[in-house]
Amino acid sequence: MSHAIIDRRETGRIALPILSAISFCHLLNDMMQSLLAASYPILKGGFNLSFAQIGFLTLIYQITASLLQPLIGLYTDRKPLPYSLPFGMGASMTGLATLAFAPTFAVLLIGAVMLGLGSSIFHPEASRIARLASGNSRGLAQSVFQVGGNFGSSLAPLIVAFFILPRGRSSLSWLALLALGGVIILTGLGHWCKSNSHARPSDRGMNVKHFNLLGTGAGRAMAILIVLIFSKFVYVASFASFYIFYLMDRFGLPTQTAQIYYFIFVVSGAIGTIIGGPIGDKIGRKSVIWASILGVLPFTLLVPYVGLTATVTLSILIALIMSSAFPAIVVYAQDLMPGRVGMVSGLFFGLAFGIGGISAAGLGVLADHMGIEFVYRVCSFLPLVGLLAGFLPNISDAARKLA
C-alpha cells in the first residue's frame, strides 16, 4: 500500500470546533466585504455614481485582494503567520468605517482598498487552518469554511435593506464593531494553529507522489482550473454587482424587494457550497467541477428572456449548481500543488476577487452603453467553458495507480 494512502488515513478526524470557529470568522469577514456591493444603491444615489464608477469601485476593491492574496499565501507557506488573521479583520473593520463616513468618491476608494487588504490577509491563512482541521474530509472542511463566507455575504443585502437604508450610510460603522469579536476569536485560532501546525503529516509528504505522477499535467490542469474560475466569476460578477439593478430596471421592483431577491440568490449559493465539498469527497472533484459549471448553461441561456418568477427561480438553480464548483476546485488544486496550501488558496480566492473586479468594471461600462439586459444576454454563454473540465486529470485514478 502506498505511503500517500497511509498518510491520508492517519490525518485523523475533522476538528469541528476549530472548523466552526474559522467558518464563523469567514462569515464576519465576507459579511463586511459584501456590504460594499450591497450598499451600491445607497452609494449610487448619495454620490451620483454611474455604473462605470460602481464597476471601478468594485475593481479597486477586488484587485487589491486578488493581487495580494497569492503573494501572502506564498510567503506564509514558507513562514506561516497565524497571528496575522486579527490584523486582517482589523483592516476590514477600518475599511467599513471609512465607507460609513467617506465624504467623496476618492475616500470611498480608500475604504474599498482597506476591505481588499483585510480579505487578502484573511483567506490564505484561514484556509490553512481549515485544511489543518480537516482530518481526512478535505472537501467537507473546505465547504464548511466557504459556506461561512457565503452566509456572511448573504446577510449583507438584508442588513442594508432593513438596517442601513432606514438609518443611513453612517450606520455601517455599527457593523464594524462586530469585527472586534472576530479579532478575539482569530487570536485564539492563531494560537491553536501555531500549536498544532506540526501535529499531522504535511501535504508535501502526503501528495508528492501524485504530483510526480502527473508531471507537466499538473501545470496544464492548473491552467484549466484558472479558465474555469474565469468563466464562473465573470458570470457571478453580473449578479453580485448588477442583479439588484437588473430586477429594479426590468421588473420595476423597489430597492428593498430587489435586496431580498438578491439575498435569496446568495443563500442559494451558500447551500450549493456546503453540498459541493462532501459530494466531491464521495464521487470525485472532477465530476463536481464538470457538472457545476457546464450544468448551469440551460438556465443561464433562459434568464434574459423570462419573467420575474422564472428569473428568481432560475437564479436560485444557477447559484445552487454553480457554487458547488469552488470548494471542489480549491481542494483539487491543493492536491495538485502539495505543500502549497497558502499559495493555492490565495491564488484561487484572489482570482475570484480579481476576475470579479475586472469583470464588474467591464460589465459596468457595457451596461452604461448597452443596458443591463444586454449584459445578461452576453454572459449567458460563459458556462460553455465548462467543457474544458473534461481535460482535467483524474487524481483519484492516480492514487489507485500508486497503491
CA 32 to chain centre: 13
pLDDT digits (tens, 9 = 90+) for 74-97: 787 777 777 889 999 999 999 989
Name the H helices within 284-371.
Answer: 285-294, 297-302, 308-323, 325-336, 341-370
Residue 342's pLDDT is what?
67
So what's the pLDDT on residue 301? 93
Choose the most confident range, by mean pLDDT, from 262-271, 285-294, 306-315. 306-315
What pLDDT score does 172 carry?
86
Which domains, ranges and CATH numbers included, belong to the chain?
12-402 (1.20.1250.20)
pLDDT over 70 percentage in the chain:
86
The pLDDT of residue 196 is 72
What does the pLDDT read at residue 396? 57
What pLDDT is stored for residue 242 in this prediction?
Answer: 82
Average model confidence (pLDDT) for the chain? 79
Average pLDDT over residues 338-355: 69
Which tens digit of pLDDT belongs to each residue from 65-79?
Answer: 777 777 787 787 777
Q: What does the pLDDT look like over 235-274, one tens digit per residue?
A: 887 777 788 888 988 898 998 888 888 888 888 887 888 7
Q: Which burial class, exposed, middle or buried, applies to 400 when counting CB atoms under 10 A from its CB (0-12, 13-18, 19+)?
A: exposed
Place of cell 485544511: 131
What pLDDT, on a 0 to 100 scale, did the predictor assign at position 215?
52
pLDDT tens figures, 300-309: 999 999 999 9
pLDDT of residue 121 exceeding 60, the answer is yes
pLDDT digits (tens, 9 = 90+) for 388-397: 888 888 765 4
> How many residues comprise the chain?
403
For residues 40-63, average pLDDT: 82
Q: What is the mean pLDDT of residues 296-322?
A: 92
Position 14 scores a pLDDT of 75
With a pLDDT cut of 90, the percent of the chain lying above it is 13
3-state class percentages of the chain: helix first, strand second, coil last, to nearest 5? 85, 0, 15
Q: How far apart are CA 179 and CA 311, in angstroms?
A: 35
The DSSP result for 22-89, as a single string, is: HHHHHHHHHHHHHHHHHTHHHHHHHHT--HHHHHHHHHHHHHHHHHHHHHHHHHHHHS--TTHHHHHH
